[in-house]
Amino acid sequence: MGKQYNFLSFYLILVCLGLAAYSLYSNMNNTWLIAPPNYILLIISLIAFILGVIGFKDKRNWWAKTRSWLTVILSSLTTIGLFLVVSFTLFFSSMGANEHIRTVSSTDDNYTIDFYRFDAGAAGSFGVRGELNGPLWFKKRIYLQHDVGQVEVEWENNDKVSINNHILKLGEGDTYGYQ
């Protein structure tokens, strides 16, 4: 039984690290965010840590012992990092840094866009951000405009939207304000 926990915890933490790395990449490059939310990744890393500790029972060879130690070290570091990220996010989201303005859907309900007002206070600027919702928890940031407080949305057709007089063709992957 310890052998199964050893393997499962090792591969689980590798998947968790891969998803966390892709989440960071997609947020930096404004691509589709397909990784689950950070609190789900935190739970996965905690499960990998617990299974890694249970996996210490597997003492067949040096690779099993090394894999257990590697799993426990990686999962504890990942858990600490994700806990800090989740805490940081909760702290600053409670201060009103991001405020949901509205949600709009296309005429055929194929696209749904959530708009948020952001305000960095004295440390930065303010403006409006739009995120295109995908299946499950998938999101893509498609609209960013600084120094505006409101958003005006008008659908031209099923996949073409005008946001504050900026035309985006969603079927072609257009974005505004992101490079």
pLDDT in tens, 71-117: 999 999 999 999 999 998 888 766 656 788 899 988 888 889 999 98
pLDDT in tens, 140-155: 889 998 888 888 999 9
What average pLDDT does the segment 9-19 reach? 92
Q: For residue 62, what pLDDT is reported?
A: 85
- Read off the tokens for 118: 């952001």
Spatial neighbors of 162 by CB under 8 A, at least 6 apart, are 153, 154, 155, 156, 168
Q: For residue 96, what pLDDT is reported?
A: 56
Q: For residue 73, what pLDDT is reported?
A: 95
Angle between helices 38-54 and 62-93 (to 10 degrees): 150
User: pTM for this one?
Assistant: 0.68
Read off the pLDDT band of 41 (50, 70, 90).
Answer: very high
Q: For residue 18, what pLDDT is reported?
A: 93
Mean pLDDT of the residues in the chain: 86
